[in-house]
Structure 1
Amino acid sequence: MSDKNNKIPFNEDNYTHNINRNNERKLDRRGFMKTLVGAAGVFAVSSLPWGVMAAKELNRLGDKKYPKHKIADLDKVPVGDAVDFHFPGEHDSAILIRLSEKKFVAYQNACTHLRCPVFWQKDEGEMLCPCHHGKFDVETGAPIAGPPRRPLPEIHVKVENGAVYAVGVKRYEA
């Protein structure tokens, strides 16, 4: 056998599969994990101010004052009927239901499962979300069937001078 058949056909410095070559692996598993943990730490520290601001805002919701908003005149809402309105903002859909001569309930009108609209079914006496057949108790807003797990946010109402007014939103504690 000749010695020329055992020679490598290219320069050994270009040989990329040589694991003994210095600095061939600049980022090994340990280096990658250190970089990953460092990046996660930077992200956590950089998002901390936003979390603090959100916590402060949530703590103030219980003290938030809402302007009184007229929903309807008493003589325009028969017992058992419902009225759609917007509260606390113009894009927040809500529903008022007159349960008896003197009892009214109001809730934000978005299902707590996937924010589909909730409808009052007078004949059945129940609030229904048609998206996934969620049902809510009209007296409390608590879910009684379907996928929703949280109650509908309640809106405080006040009756005065022959009209029904929305005056606040009940804050639920987690």
Structure 2
Amino acid sequence: MSDNNKIPFNEDNYTHNIERNNERRLDRRGFMKTLVGAAGVFAVSSLPWGAVAAKELMDLGDKEYPLKKITDVSNLPIGDAVEFKFPSEHDDAILIRLAENKYVAYQNACTHLRCPVFWVKEEGEMICPCHHGKFDVETGAPTAGPPRRPLPEIKVKVENGAIYAERVKRYET
């Protein structure tokens, strides 16, 4: 074997490149202190966002919005539905006329995976085609499929021959 191919250390010593004097010793107690410290830093850093989220959730109980005209009563026959946007232009909703003076409205994004929910007049059901979810038209409660939460209800009122959306009722108070 030439000198160039010779290993410059003892072949039985595989830790030749570790300087043990500069090594940090981490025992179980040190590991737990580090873990608790990291969790504490994470908890403290997330507090502002948790406070913002809690405030939003508490404000959503029965949040008031400016009245928004959906349609005229004369344009919506009994049993028919009309889609609209409420409370913002990004929130899809649906209004269904169940009887002469009975209207229900919901945000029509399925509470399972946010797929659109459709009114099927012939079956008298609100259906989410993505995973065969069904909702009770009277209450918005899920009746079949994977959804577990009811559709957010939109309170409507009839005034001067028009139907208006007035507020979103997301959580029971």
CA distance in 1, matches of 2:172, 2:27: 45
TM-score of the superposed pair, with normalisation by structure 2: 0.85
In the alignment, what sits opposite 1:125? 124
Change (3 A) 1:122 1:34: same
1:162 to 2:144 alignment: no
Task: Name the aligned partner's letter for residue 64 of structure 1.
Answer: K
Query: Hey, which bits of structure 1, 4+ residues long, moved more than 6 A?
Result: none
SS of residue in 2 equivalent to 1:140: coil
CA distance in 1, matches of 2:62, 2:172: 14
Task: Name the aligned partner's letter for residue 85 of structure 1.
Answer: F
* Runs of 5+ consecutive residues of structure 2 not aligned to the other structure: 1-7
CA distance in 2, matches of 1:90, 1:152: 18
SS of residue in 1 equivalent to 2:47: helix
Q: Which runs of structure 2 are paired with 1:55-134 in the superposition (5 Å)?
A: 55-62=54-61, 64-134=63-133
The answer on whether the counterparts of 2:117 and 2:127 sit within 8 Å (CA) in structure 1 is: yes
The answer on whether the counterparts of 2:71 and 2:162 sit within 8 Å (CA) in structure 1 is: yes
Task: Name the aligned partner's letter for residue 127 of structure 1.
Answer: M
How much has 1:29 moved relative to structure 2? 4.4
The answer on whether the counterparts of 2:156 and 2:167 sit within 8 Å (CA) in structure 1 is: yes
The answer on whether the counterparts of 2:136 and 2:142 sit within 8 Å (CA) in structure 1 is: yes
* Runs of 5+ consecutive residues of structure 1 not aligned to the other structure: 1-8
SS of residue in 1 equivalent to 2:171: coil
Percent identity between matched residues is 77
Q: Which runs of structure 2 are paired with 1:133-172 in the superposition (5 Å)?
A: 133-172=132-171
In the alignment, what sits opposite 1:54? 53
SS of residue in 1 equivalent to 2:99: coil
SS of residue in 2 equivalent to 1:45: helix
In the alignment, what sits opposite 1:6? none
CA distance in 1, matches of 2:148, 2:103: 23
Moved more, 134-143 or 46-55: 46-55
How much has 1:140 moved relative to structure 2? 0.2
Change (3 A) 1:147 1:10: same
Task: Name the aligned partner's letter for residue 21 of structure 2.
Answer: N
Deviations 1:71-113 (A, max 9, x none): 0111110000000000000000000000001000000010000
Change (3 A) 1:63 1:115: closer
Change (3 A) 1:33 1:79: same
TM-score of the superposed pair, with normalisation by structure 1: 0.84
How many residue pairs get aligned? The number is 163
> Which of the residues 18, 24, 36 maps onto 1:26?
24
CA distance in 2, matches of 1:94, 1:109: 5
Task: Name the aligned partner's letter for residue 26 of structure 2.
Answer: D
